[in-house]
Amino acid sequence: MQTIGFIGLGKMGGNMAARYLAAGYTVYGEARNRDSAQWLIDQGLQWVDTPRELAQAADVVMTSLPNDDVVESITKGTDGLLAGLSEGKIWADLSTITPGVSRKLAARVREEAHGALMLDTPVSGTVPQVKSGTLTLMVGGDKDAYRRLEPVLRVLGTPEYVGENGQGLVLKLAINISLAVQMLAFSEGLLLAERDGIDPHRAAEIMTESAVGSPMLKARVPLVLDKPDETWFDVGLMHKDIRLARQAGEELATPLPTAAVADEILAVADQLGYGHRDIATLHEVLAHTPAGSAQPATAAKP
């Protein structure tokens, strides 16, 4: 059984590492804060101090990190990831980053890491899907490397080979446009019904039972009106993904009008202090936005 190394042990990465531990894999881990990973160490995760040590110890390196800068930072220097990779090892980056940056990193791995390969492996789904092993993983890069990695990825859900490096990320961004726009459209409709005096819980129930009731909406609607303490996919990360999608659209001369609207409303959500709240709070954000405007009515905080 291949050994796994995880860099980035937050909500997504930590729960992914837990699935591999539960499946009997030897798992190494590294993150900025060891204390936050203690629950995984208690389950058998083997802590290492640097990305280089992790890459040397593991057959497969997985990274789950928030943005381009952080992913690039863990590759650099004598203690960086590239210094520890070697022939036969695979780096599967589960992060959602700029496709162009990912392609450049994949080229660096091929040139500098002595026969290792990098795959972009972004996921569709959030913490509940990680815990149930029902993520969809979109993979870009060397097809033979994908075939070797596929059984490992099946611990997390359903892997799908997309094409060359970067194309897994482009497809992930395409999916997240729909996710953001669906959440925004549902929130608009629910607010309209609520302001006409319809009970919002009843309206939400009927809306999700109708033809517009996608699996994503059915999973998230309970968070819209009865907000839990836990965040599945926060506004700040979604805003980052929509900006990446719009950037890709510009590079590929592709109009993305609904992504532009989602970008505008997500910017308002950030202004109102919702950056670390789940995207289900877009309903609440719209309640603070005057009709015909994408500017917040007040500086109200969540």
How does DSSP assign 233-297, residue by residue?
SBHHHHHHHHHHHHHHHHHTT---HHHHHHHHHHHHHHHTT-TTSBGGGHHHHHHTS-TT-SS-S
Please say whether the beta carbons of 93 and 63 come within 8 A. yes
Token reading at 280 = 């289900």
pTM over 0.95: no
Please say whether the beta carbons of 25 and 55 come within 8 A. no
Dihedral sign, Cα of residue 258, residue 174, residue 109, residue 28: positive
Please say whether the beta carbons of 114 and 82 come within 8 A. no
SS3 (DSSP) at 115: coil
Q: What is the 3-state secondary structure (H, E, C) of 227-250?
A: CCCCCCCEHHHHHHHHHHHHHHHH
Residue 205 has what pLDDT? Answer: 94
- Residue 23's contacts (CB-CB under 8 Å, 6 or more residues apart) are 155
SS3 (DSSP) at 154: coil
Within 10 angstroms of residue 80's Cβ, the number of other Cβ atoms is: 17
Residue 114 has what pLDDT? Answer: 81
Vertex 27: Cα angle to 71 and 103 (nearest 5): 25
Residue 230 has what pLDDT? Answer: 73
What domains does the chain contain, in order, with CATH numbers?
4-164 (3.40.50.720), 170-287 (1.10.1040.10)
Q: What is the mean pLDDT of each run of 10 residues along the chain (302 residues)?
A: 94 97 97 94 97 97 97 96 96 97 97 93 93 97 97 98 98 96 95 97 95 89 79 90 97 97 95 91 88 54 48
Residue 295 has what pLDDT? Answer: 56
DSSP class of residue 281? G
Residue with tokens 């997500």, as numbered in its chain: 266
- Which residues are known catalytic residues? 172
Residue 293 has what pLDDT? Answer: 58
Residue 292 has what pLDDT? Answer: 60
Task: Give 209: exposed, middle or buried? Use CB within 10 Å, 0-12, 13-18, 19+.
Answer: exposed
Residue 231 has what pLDDT? Answer: 79
Count helices and strands in the chain by DSSP H and E runs: 14, 9
SS3 (DSSP) at 48: coil
Residue 299 has what pLDDT? Answer: 42
Residue 228 has what pLDDT? Answer: 66
